[in-house]
Structure 1
Amino acid sequence: MATPMLTSPLTPRLTRRQLMRSALAGSTAFAVMPRPGAQGLTGPAYEVSAWTGPVSGFALVDTTGKTWRPADLRGRAVLLNFWASWCEPCRAEMPTLQQVADLYGPDKLLVLAINFKEPAARAIQFAKTTGVTMPVLLDVDGRAARQWGVKVFPTTLTIDSRGRPRQRVQGEVDWTSSAADKLITGLIQA
């Protein structure tokens, strides 16, 4: 049975799930909302807003045992993607995050997938079965998510190549899209 579409004369047709995701995300400085298409709903389902950090004061262990600290991020643009294996939009965007990580390479764009409060074995199994090779960091107690105000999954925090926090991207993103490419290019060229 299809999800009923909720409509208004002034807004595009949105599913109940999209409305809930939007309501959970709260208000932001810049929002990209879905747009109607010939075959129904198409387009992005994410919101972008300014993020001011802080970037300092964290130590997260990845699935290989390496501890990541702010010094490991210096000199390159960074995407800090908060996700969980139970999160359908997180799972949906993960392949495009991996493609972007592969395309740019870690010296130019470091993509870190930060798993939210799941056992290490679950994060490792997810990465293995989905072909994720970018670093998967473990936020086992949710401290990093709290510190950076992450309440919606997925959320990606961006840092430019000069080490400055830039954007908070909430919701599922096709990181291979032209809109995401503009955001990434802005981080790299900073």
Structure 2
Amino acid sequence: MKKILPVLLILLLTVGLAQATGKGLTLLDDKPTVPDFTLKDVDGNSYRFSDLRGKVVIVNFWATWCPPCRAEMPSMQRAWEQLREEGILMLAIDVGEDEDAIFEFTASYPVDFPILLDTESTVSEAWEVKGLPTTFVIDQWGRKIYRAVGGREWDAPELLKKIRELKKVP
């Protein structure tokens, strides 16, 4: 029951956010360092977040049943196609689902950036995700710089500009 309550809270908040699509990124004043994690992707490969230090990383928390998550996924793929050659990484962390749900989803929404599985919702809890989708932009020192709650058009030039500027910071 303890694990079900956070997932239910996320579900309720996500339903409330379903109609809201934001445009920009919220700058986080305190710039907290992110908790480390190790998760597997849909192919069974392990990813440890601390191994990504030195890179700017976009981390998207989502679920296949979430309408705004589904709506923003094509724009995330388009953004990834622009950013991957620049050394900016993108990870999608599915909250509370298994490989079968992801495979079914990607049949209709193909993506080629890593999709990680947070089946027990431990990472989303540690990162203080309150609704889906929630996306963080992490700088090369492992700090949360930006947050976006709700769907976005991730390939929008103004969003990409802010993300790219993080690579220029000494």
Q: Distance in 2 between matches of 1:121 and 1:53?
A: 34
How many residues end up aligned between the 2 structures?
155
For the pair shown, the structure with the greater C-alpha radius of gyration is 1
Greater fraction helix: 2
Task: Determine which of 15, 22, 26 is the counterpart of 1:48.
Answer: 26
Taking structure 2 as the reference length, the TM-score comes to 0.79
Alignment map for 1:1-190 (pairs within 5 Å): 20-21=16-17, 44=22, 48-50=26-28, 52-105=31-84, 108-190=87-169
Please, what is the CA RMSD of the aligned residues?
A: 2.7
**More deviation in 131-140 or 47-56?**
47-56
Q: Distance in 1 between matches of 2:164 and 2:24?
A: 18
Q: Structure 1 unaligned runs (5+)?
A: 1-19, 23-33, 35-42
Q: Distance in 2 between matches of 1:121 and 1:107?
A: 32
1:4 is aligned to none
Comparing both chains, which one has the higher relative contact order based on Cα–Cα distances under 8 Å and sequence gaps of 6 or more? 2
Tell me the SS of whatever aligns to 2:97: coil
Q: Distance in 1 between matches of 2:125 and 2:119?
A: 12
Deviation (angstroms), 1:46: 6.2
Greater fraction strand: 1
| Letter in structure 1 aligned against 2:26 | V
**CA displacement 1:36-88 (0-9 Å, x = unmatched):** xxxxxxx8456624163442431111111111112331222100000001111
Q: Structure 2 unaligned runs (5+)?
A: 1-15
Taking structure 1 as the reference length, the TM-score comes to 0.72
Deviation (angstroms), 1:130: 1.0
State percent identity of aligned pairs: 34
| Letter in structure 2 aligned against 1:154 | P
**CA displacement 1:103-152 (0-9 Å, x = unmatched):** 12166111001001012111122123211111000000000000000011
